[in-house]
Amino acid sequence: MLAKRIIPCLDIKDGQTVKGTNFVNLRQAGDPVELGRAYSEQGADELVFLDITASHEGRKTFTELVKRIAANINIPFTVGGGINELNDVDRLLNAGADKISINSSAIRNPQLINDIAKNFGSQVCVLAVDARQTENGWKCYLNGGRIETDKELLSWTKEAQERGAGEILFTSMNHDGVKTGYANEALASLAEQLSIPVIASGGAGLKEHFRDAFLVGKADAALAASVFHFGEIKIPELKSYLCGEGITIRG
């Protein structure tokens, strides 16, 4: 079994870390550089920073923030938000990011996945998917969960893999911030039908939820935000617990 990864996620708005429930009701959670450094020291395997209100004006600010993050942490990190073209990828990688995450821009222009994989390598390209379980199955959403699309979770992630995505970051909008566990059934079907790693996102509230994401959902990594930001779960304790459950964890 490949070692599983624990990934804190920091949603950035106006230079601060924020966290909401079901993608709304945001509250502040602290300075992203300080939080990132703390997680790095506590044993997080990777970090994800998402500029959740990315706009053209905010790009320069976010690039500067990425440079500060890179100078302060020593673990790999992924950045996302407002990445629409190869120049954006180039700028963020040059600022120190290890990977980039695309979501809405990939749905609007799937060729972007091919272009990133071809120019920078598949390992750089993380496809983020915000999906909600509806009466018609799992539907993918645009613009931070605001607009439903005709893309279906499994077919879209398969297409992304074929186009060269190196990893899938799947957030269940039904589970986001609710702390009742990950969407393990959907995760397991993704893990079974894809050959690239799947990161579970949305729903962590207890250590057992991470265990279930790995054992039931067959996820390669588990991402969480508020349980880490507000000190409800400490990363060293979580890793120790998971090891005790027979799960191979990094470091």
Q: Which residue type is seen at 56?
A: H
Contacts of 6 (CB under 8 A, 6+ apart): 43, 44, 45, 210, 221, 222, 224, 235, 238, 239, 249, 250
SS3 sequence, 125-150? Answer: EEEEEEEEEECCEEEEEECCCCEEEE
Beta bridge partners of 19: 27
Question: 16: which strand partners?
Answer: 13
How many CB atoms sit inside 10 A of residue 28's CB?
Answer: 12
Alpha-carbon distance of 211 to 172, in angstroms, equals 17
Do residues 175 and 202 lie in contact, with contact meaning Cβ atoms separated by under 8 Å? Answer: yes
**Catalytic residue numbers?**
11, 130
- Tokens representing 62? 């976010």
